[in-house]
């Protein structure tokens, strides 16, 4: 659980840093609103995430599915 504590501290620290950033007005977000700038995987990457979950021991923290289904092959 020490690792979880560290992660929570990092997240809190990151939150504090980022909350001090300059505010971006709605009319200044043309680039940020571009679909390529989305902070999530593309829909077309869905099955890549799935096979990574099956072929690697690590999963999660990327918006993918984290349970259900066998993936036994």
Partner 1 sequence: MEVKLVAVAAVISNKQLKKIMKRLLIVLLVVFTAIINAQEKKDSIAVNRTAYKKKVLDNVEVNFLYSNYLQNGSHAAVTGGVGDEKLTDNTPAILINIPLNADAILSVDFGVDFTTSASTDQINPFAVAVTGGGEGDDRDKSGTTSSKSSALLKTSASTGGGDDGPPAHARKHGSLTYTHTSDNRTFSWGVDGAFSSEQGYNSVGAGIQFRKSFNNDNSEINFNSSAYFDKLDLIYPGEFRTSEGLSPSVGFKLLDLNHRNSFSAALSFSQMLNKRMQISFSADIIYQEGLLSTNYQRVYFKDKPIETVNNIELAHDVERLPSTRSKHPFGMRFNYAVSDVIILRTFYRYYSDDWGVSANTYDIQVPLKLSKSFTVYPMYRHHSQQQSTYFAPKSSHKSTETFYTSDYDLSTFSSSQYGVGFTIAPPLGIFKLDTSNAGNPFRFKSFDIRYNYYSRSDGLKANILSLNAQFSF
Site membership for partner 1, residue 29 (CB under 8 A): yes
- Residues in the interface with partner 1 (CB under 8 A) total 54
- Residue in 65, 63, 7, 10 with CA at minimum distance from that of residue 38: 63
CA–CA dist 67, 23 (Å, integer): 37
CA–CA dist 7, 73 (Å, integer): 33
What's the farthest any 2 CA atoms get from each other in the chain? 50
**Interface mask toward partner 1 for 3-22; x: CB under 8 A:** xx--xx-xx--xx--xx-xx
- Contact residues: partner 1, CB under 8 A: 1, 3-4, 7-8, 10-11, 14-15, 18-19, 21-26, 28-29, 31-32, 34-40, 42-48, 51-52, 54-63, 66-70, 72-73
């Amino acid at each position: 659980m020490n690792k979880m504590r560290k992660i929570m501290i990092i997240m809190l620290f990151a939150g504090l840093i980022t909350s001090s950033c300059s505010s971006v007005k709605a009319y200044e977000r043309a680039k940020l609103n571009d679909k390529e700038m989305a902070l999530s995987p593309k829909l077309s990457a869905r099955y890549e995430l799935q096979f990574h979950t099956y072929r690697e021991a690590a999963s999660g923290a990327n918006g993918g599915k984290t349970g259900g289904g066998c993936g036994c092959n």
